[in-house]
Chains A and B, each alone.
Chain A
């Protein structure tokens, strides 16, 4: 399939690496408002041509798939034009800034017979796929609780703390947290899909003008099932922790520094089971530390799930079947974000 990329910021490196190595994709074009950036990306990842005008790119390169990797406020307009040009769209999160915008864009894609796929990359990281398998195999029992917690020191420097040229994410409905909230949402919804009650506390603990919010604490309730979504920039070290608790067992992981801690009934009965769990998990932790050292040495990043997501998405597009991130997945995540914003500070 002929593929093109719009936007050559940080995340583009992962998309372009995939496209440069993939047998399913032929990277025909890279587009960025900066000619130097577009040209550099095209040269580095062996794209056929670079553009600074995406409409010209759509017209001349005629891609089958366009990856939209620009700031979120531009996604809907760009995706609409790409769909109109006959291209499938793979879009960085959030695909739209409200549920209404999302459903309208989805209808447009459906009318034109094109796929619209939002990047839910962490759902395809190995630890998450393992947790899904544990659930499918009945190891956890019925899932009752989920905790998703991201800690990032975004106030201590870097692109979000830059006061010289404030990051466009500061202007999103949930401020900078909007840039991360899709990840928290789709992970929680993967295990507890239909919350009937949502509450959220949005805070700006530092109280400055640059950040709209720097903290989120949200609770979802679906019948007797509970989920908690946390974003914090005041606790360290950085982590992306996921805990899933079922009726039989619980499992924990950190997607930034992967490990797996599974607490389940083990041989030895009620009295020895905790000890056996600790021994087994201790060994797993030692194994994970070597694995993470290898990942660091071999430059493998937490974006490993993005490559699986793209690989499966291209496979689905080629076979004309539903992509791995479905309408329901995107619809639920988008709706939940709206609900959390609406329920802001009614906790």
Chain B
């Protein structure tokens, strides 16, 4: 297949490109005009066609999608204010889908996120799966959740209005080299200390190479059309277990102050009550004290990857210990780049962003 991967030089994107090439696909890799991709060593690779384009502009996007069998829409913006993230996640997707409709390209794999779920509506220890409720009023969530929800709506509209063959993949917390910490664990307190919220809460993680493989499989398989898949690895750790695993591979170790889920939930409810009662709910409260955001991050839930495993015959290749070891050491990037020379992993520290933080 000829696959277009957007956000191709980002944290997840470069692994999607590597997986696609390893599985024998030709890849058109979209990167931003100013991205430095020398370290990825894609230049001169016959299986990889690099196209520089900014998806926030419609200019030349029809050419970008022309002739591909499927598009893996991976570009998104995780930093900056709401309008920066809206442009980098929603406008980019809108422009891409418009170009796909123009070029009559129907197959789309849209990379979404667990952040779209409304955990506030779920009970403790309930199973979160693809049928779990989405957040239909994300006003108290962060910009990322707000914009990713709109992005998913656009993918559904594309399926409806243009007879698009759409698969939505919702990865849990994607971790890997340079992305080992997640805000789901709690809050960093200085350099080597953190508030560990819900130490016994299960962390829905997926290692970036495992996740990339599932995404490429979703693009390949006919049965994935019309499906939504949650992507998480097997044998999920608790917050405490994940931090311990990190500490086995990093120096200095991160010291944690455990904060039980029930205590944190009470504090967030209290903050909301005070905000409502005395401040007309106008006060800006840290996300860890906003129930909608806290429940999305730290609520003790159960998870399943049954659907993605059965439907795509996917099995996470790397377990957590091995994945963290690969992430912590200077990984041999033969698996990332199509040629066997190791390359440095310093291309895009801010992951799959289309644009950077705004003043």
Q: Which residues of A contact B (CB under 8 A)?
A: 9-10, 13, 34-37, 40, 152-154, 156-165, 238, 296-299
Q: Which residues of B contact A (CB under 8 A)?
A: 32-35, 54, 56-57, 80-84, 86, 90-91, 94, 150, 154, 279, 282-284, 354-359
Question: Can you list 15 residue pairs at the A/B interface with Cβ under 8 Å?
Answer: A9-B83, A10-B81, A10-B83, A13-B83, A36-B91, A36-B94, A37-B90, A158-B84, A158-B356, A159-B358, A159-B359, A164-B34, A238-B359, A299-B282, A299-B283
Nearest-Cβ distance from residue B91 to partner chain A, whole angstroms: 5
| A34-B91, A36-B154, A158-B356 known; A165 vs B56 contact (CB < 8 Å) | yes
B contact residues around A153 at 8 Å (CB): 359
Nearest-Cβ distance from residue A46 to partner chain B, whole angstroms: 13
Number of CB contacts from chain A to chain B under 8 A: 69
| A10-B83, A164-B54, A165-B57 known; A36 vs B150 contact (CB < 8 Å) | yes
Nearest-Cβ distance from residue B76 to partner chain A, whole angstroms: 14
B contact residues around A296 at 8 Å (CB): 284
The 3 A-B pairs with the shortest beta carbon distances in the complex, nearest first, are A158-B359, A163-B34, A158-B358
Nearest-Cβ distance from residue B98 to partner chain A, whole angstroms: 9
Checking B33, B80, B91, B282 against A164 with a beta-carbon cut-off of 8 angstroms, the contacting residue is: B33
Closest residue of chain A to B57 (Cβ to Cβ) is A165
Nearest-Cβ distance from residue B136 to partner chain A, whole angstroms: 11
Closest residue of chain A to B34 (Cβ to Cβ) is A163
Bound together, the chains give a CA A159 to CA B57 distance in angstroms of 14
Closest residue of chain A to B147 (Cβ to Cβ) is A40
List 8 additional A-B contacts (Cβ < 8 Å) besides A35-B94, A36-B150, A40-B86.
Answer: A36-B94, A157-B359, A159-B359, A161-B356, A163-B34, A164-B34, A297-B279, A298-B279
Checking B34, B54, B86, B279 against A37 with a beta-carbon cut-off of 8 angstroms, the contacting residue is: B86
Checking A10, A40, A163, A297 against B283 with a beta-carbon cut-off of 8 angstroms, the contacting residue is: A297
Closest residue of chain A to B86 (Cβ to Cβ) is A37
B contact residues around A298 at 8 Å (CB): 279, 282-284
Bound together, the chains give a CA A298 to CA B356 distance in angstroms of 26
Bound together, the chains give a CA A160 to CA B34 distance in angstroms of 14
| A9-B83, A34-B94, A298-B282 known; A162 vs B359 contact (CB < 8 Å) | no
Bound together, the chains give a CA A296 to CA B83 distance in angstroms of 19
Nearest-Cβ distance from residue B204 to partner chain A, whole angstroms: 28
Closest residue of chain A to B80 (Cβ to Cβ) is A158
Q: Are A299 and B90 in contact (CB under 8 A)?
A: no
Bound together, the chains give a CA A298 to CA B359 distance in angstroms of 20
Q: Are A36 and B90 in contact (CB under 8 A)?
A: yes
Main secondary structure of the interface of A (DSSP, over half): loop
A contact residues around B32 at 8 Å (CB): 164
B contact residues around A163 at 8 Å (CB): 33-34
B contact residues around A154 at 8 Å (CB): 359
Bound together, the chains give a CA A260 to CA B21 distance in angstroms of 63
Closest residue of chain A to B354 (Cβ to Cβ) is A164
Q: Are B359 and A152 in contact (CB under 8 A)?
A: yes
Closest residue of chain A to B58 (Cβ to Cβ) is A33
A contact residues around B83 at 8 Å (CB): 9-10, 13
Nearest-Cβ distance from residue A73 to partner chain B, whole angstroms: 15
Bound together, the chains give a CA A165 to CA B86 distance in angstroms of 15
Closest residue of chain A to B97 (Cβ to Cβ) is A36
Bound together, the chains give a CA A163 to CA B83 distance in angstroms of 18
Checking B34, B57, B279, B357 against A158 with a beta-carbon cut-off of 8 angstroms, the contacting residue is: B357
Which of A10, A36, A297 gathers most chain B CB within 10 Å? A36
Q: Are B359 and A156 in contact (CB under 8 A)?
A: yes
Closest residue of chain B to A9 (Cβ to Cβ) is B83
A contact residues around B54 at 8 Å (CB): 164-165
Nearest-Cβ distance from residue A4 to partner chain B, whole angstroms: 20
Nearest-Cβ distance from residue A40 to partner chain B, whole angstroms: 6
Bound together, the chains give a CA A297 to CA B282 distance in angstroms of 8
Nearest-Cβ distance from residue B57 to partner chain A, whole angstroms: 6
B contact residues around A37 at 8 Å (CB): 86, 90-91
Bound together, the chains give a CA A200 to CA B208 distance in angstroms of 54
Closest residue of chain B to A160 (Cβ to Cβ) is B359
Closest residue of chain B to A294 (Cβ to Cβ) is B283
Closest residue of chain B to A163 (Cβ to Cβ) is B34
Bound together, the chains give a CA A298 to CA B280 distance in angstroms of 10
B contact residues around A165 at 8 Å (CB): 33, 54, 56-57, 355
Bound together, the chains give a CA A9 to CA B82 distance in angstroms of 10
Nearest-Cβ distance from residue A53 to partner chain B, whole angstroms: 15
Closest residue of chain A to B355 (Cβ to Cβ) is A162
Nearest-Cβ distance from residue B247 to partner chain A, whole angstroms: 32
Bound together, the chains give a CA A165 to CA B61 distance in angstroms of 14
Closest residue of chain A to B83 (Cβ to Cβ) is A10
Closest residue of chain A to B94 (Cβ to Cβ) is A36
A contact residues around B358 at 8 Å (CB): 10, 157-159
Bound together, the chains give a CA A82 to CA B303 distance in angstroms of 54
Bound together, the chains give a CA A235 to CA B148 distance in angstroms of 36
Nearest-Cβ distance from residue B54 to partner chain A, whole angstroms: 4
Which of B84, B283, B359 gathers most chain A CB within 10 Å? B359
Bound together, the chains give a CA A47 to CA B80 distance in angstroms of 26
Nearest-Cβ distance from residue A298 to partner chain B, whole angstroms: 5
A contact residues around B355 at 8 Å (CB): 159, 162, 164-165
Nearest-Cβ distance from residue A234 to partner chain B, whole angstroms: 14
A contact residues around B57 at 8 Å (CB): 165
Bound together, the chains give a CA A297 to CA B83 distance in angstroms of 21
Q: Are B34 and A299 in contact (CB under 8 A)?
A: no
Closest residue of chain B to A32 (Cβ to Cβ) is B91
A contact residues around B279 at 8 Å (CB): 297-298
Q: Are A162 and B356 in contact (CB under 8 A)?
A: yes
A contact residues around B91 at 8 Å (CB): 34, 36-37
B contact residues around A238 at 8 Å (CB): 359
A contact residues around B354 at 8 Å (CB): 164
Nearest-Cβ distance from residue A264 to partner chain B, whole angstroms: 35
A contact residues around B90 at 8 Å (CB): 34, 36-37, 40
Closest residue of chain A to B285 (Cβ to Cβ) is A297
Closest residue of chain A to B279 (Cβ to Cβ) is A298
B contact residues around A40 at 8 Å (CB): 86, 90, 150
Which of A13, A153, A162, A299 gathers most chain B CB within 10 Å? A162
